[in-house]
Amino acid sequence: GIYFGRKPPQPLGTVVFDEIVEKAREKLKEYPGAFLYAYGSAGTNSTDRNNLRGFERYGIIPRMLVNATTRDLSTTIFGVKHSAPIFIAPIGVQGIFHPDAEFAPARATKKMGVPFIMSTASSRTMEEVAEENGDGHRWYQLYWNHQPIPVRPRTNDVTLSLLGRAKKNGFKALVVTLDTMTIGWRPHDLETAYIPFGHGVGIQVGTSDPVFMARYNRQPVTKEHTKFPYDPKELDRLYFAGDEKTKDDVFMGIEWLKEVNSGIYRDWKDLKFLRDNWEGPLVLKGIQSLQDAEKAIDSGVDGIIVSNHGGRQVDGGIPSIYALANIMKSAKVRDAQRSGKFTVLFDSGIRTGSDIIKAMALGAQAVLIGRPWLYGSIVSGQAGIEQVIQHILGDLDTTLGLSGYQSLSDIQGKGEEIIQKLD
Ligand code: FNR
């Protein structure tokens, strides 16, 4: 019905992605550091640009006179049938973007029936987010080999406690993000939110969790953050309510202070600890090479998210969609996927329905949406996220039908039957 309305869809007032980005910039105009933290990528932004351009290097081949008048967007992941093939990607520190923080995506995803992946670096506790998400489908994202900001557990005790809380609070799968051994070289963040610490080690204070900052008397140094319209005392009350659930967060902060100048290294064999201590599906996020995808199978995890973190980590990287194409050349990956033992998800650069069709034709079983939902939230919180999800699904539904396919299972993994690589 979008063509028959009298005014642009609300609350965003537009369906044009670039216009939503500009509205988000405007909304955060007093807090440019926060906007640039969302918008920016590593280095020259070349990986982010490559992600978007990569999709343009593939074209869909539509077919005619087939019955595609109704479409089925459902997708089954780890035995659960979802009405659509999109997940809400983990994006940390929502408190710097909107006063509702993680509650906005938790509520929007519940309402829209889309799974929500909650970040370790969240501004709200797992317990509160689970309550807001209710009977929605949620996964927990763990930073685990991440330094030096205070968002990942260093000791196994804290990791176990986080996993226990995730399980208790109904997070169905565990996503372990591997591409963030340290934060990427992000010039915008360095300009707006960087203070020297210790032996020249930098901490991105302005962009880290305001609760930690308040807790450890490391007040945000940038004026946009000190002025930001939420009260650190209120956050502190919510986050450190003085009971068991806050323990891990306190530990992580203390550990961070202790270890800030010492590295921590975790490798493939260490994944066994997570495998042994997490019963549900375990997924590695940040895989870009065929070799690593095969190592993931050997290490006994249940799946991967082919992702380059939206271009925020390695500058000068390949388009994530190329990484997916390379990985799906592996017979080992294809066999494991076909047998149902291994799930391949994808993110980085998904903006349109056709992007989803291309990723799924190349072999992804579902995709994660990153910045699009974040911009929706910046502009209008929960309702903004809902509208962004509607745009993407409306576009996907239309484009799938126009391409001549009735369901996503008609295209998933079908490669060159569906899409062509351009010269
Ligand atoms: C992220 N991403 C991310 N990933 C993760 O595993 N844990 C996290 O806390 C964050 N935080 C985060 C913050 C911001 C501001 C952005 C933009 C991204 C990466 C995210 O999950 C996803 O991989 C990318 O956003 C996907 O790329 P697009 O869709 O943004 O192009």
- Ligand 1 near 283 CB (within 6 A): no
Residue ranges of domains in the chain: 2-421
Atom of ligand 1 nearest to the CA of 310: 27
Residue 8's pLDDT is 80
Say if CB 152 and CB 181 are below 8 A apart: no
Specify the 3-state DSSP secondary structure of 384: helix
3-state DSSP helix/strand/coil % of the chain, to nearest 5 = 45, 15, 40
Give distance in angstroms: CA of 90 to centre of ligand 1: 6
Helix then strand count (H, E) for the chain reads: 17, 14
Give distance in angstroms: CA of 91 to centre of ligand 1: 5
Atom of ligand 1 nearest to the CA of 141: 6
- Ligand 1 near 403 CB (within 6 A): no
Q: Exposed, middle or buried, 246 (CB in 10 Å: 0-12/13-18/19+)?
A: middle
- Ligand 1 near 347 CB (within 6 A): yes
Say if CB 86 and CB 305 are below 8 A apart: no
Residue among 205, 254, 256, 210 nearest 235 (CA): 210
- Ligand 1 near 222 CB (within 6 A): no
Atom of ligand 1 nearest to the CA of 89: 21
Residue among 44, 56, 39 nearest 319 (CA): 56
309 is catalytic: yes
Neighbours of 272 (CB within 10 A): 11
CA-closest residue to ligand 1 atom 2:
91
Q: How many C-alpha atoms does 330 have within 13 Å on its Cβ side?
A: 20
pLDDT tens-place values along the chain, 423 residues long: 456 666 788 999 999 999 999 999 999 888 777 788 899 898 899 999 999 999 999 999 999 999 999 999 999 999 999 999 999 999 987 877 888 889 999 999 999 999 999 998 777 778 889 999 999 999 999 988 755 444 556 667 778 878 888 999 999 999 999 998 777 777 776 655 433 322 222 233 333 344 444 444 444 333 333 333 344 444 444 333 333 444 455 445 544 444 445 456 789 999 999 999 999 999 999 999 999 999 999 999 999 999 999 999 999 999 999 999 999 999 999 999 999 999 999 999 999 999 999 999 999 999 999 999 999 999 999 999 999 999 999 999 999 999 999 999 999 999 999 999 999
Nearby residues of 131 by Cβ (< 8 Å), 6 or more positions away: none
- Ligand 1 near 309 CB (within 6 A): yes
Element (H, E) at 75: strand 75-77
Q: What is the DSSP string of 38-66?
A: HH--STTSHHHHHHHHHHHTEEE----SS
Q: Which amino acid is at 85?
A: P
What crossing angle do the helices spanning 156-168 and 247-259 adopt, rounded to 10°?
150
For residue 123, what are its two tokens?
A: 């501004």
Q: What is the distance between the alpha carbons of residues 225 and 220, in angstroms, rounded to a whole number?
A: 6
Q: 42 vs 188, 196, 203, CA distance in Å? A: 9, 19, 16
Q: Which amino acid is at 76?
A: T
Atom of ligand 1 nearest to the CA of 286: 23
How many residues comprise the chain?
423
Pick the CATH number of 2-421 from 3.20.20.70, 3.40.50.300, 3.40.120.10, 3.40.1350.10: 3.20.20.70
Give distance in angstroms: CA of 388 to centre of ligand 1: 16
Atom of ligand 1 nearest to the CA of 308: 23
* ipTM tops the 0.95 cut: yes
Q: What is the distance between the alpha carbons of residues 164 and 248, in angstroms, rounded to a whole number?
A: 11
CA-closest residue to ligand 1 atom 12:
91
Q: What is the distance between the alpha carbons of residues 254 and 271, in angstroms, rounded to a whole number?
A: 24
Q: Which amino acid is at 380?
A: S
- Ligand 1 near 350 CB (within 6 A): yes
Give distance in angstroms: CA of 70 to centre of ligand 1: 33
For residue 409, what are its two tokens?
A: 């299972």
Of these residues, 98, 137, 309, 391, which one is catalytic? Answer: 309
Residue among 331, 405, 374, 383 nearest 12 (CA): 383
Residue among 150, 205, 181, 158 nearest 263 (CA): 181
CA-closest residue to ligand 1 atom 11:
91
Pairing of β 419-421 and β 58-60: antiparallel
Specify the 3-state DSSP secondary structure of 175: strand
Beta bridge partners, 282, equal 174
Tracing tokens 């780890």 back to the chain, one arrives at 78
Q: 171 vs 160, 163, 247, CA distance in Å? A: 14, 9, 19
Please choose from 91, 377, 385 the residue to mutate so as to test ligand 1's pocket, defined by most ligand atoms within 8 A of CB: 91
For residue 218, what are its two tokens?
A: 């490391």
Give distance in angstroms: CA of 228 to centre of ligand 1: 22
Say if CB 189 and CB 182 are below 8 A apart: no
Say if CB 193 and CB 205 are below 8 A apart: yes
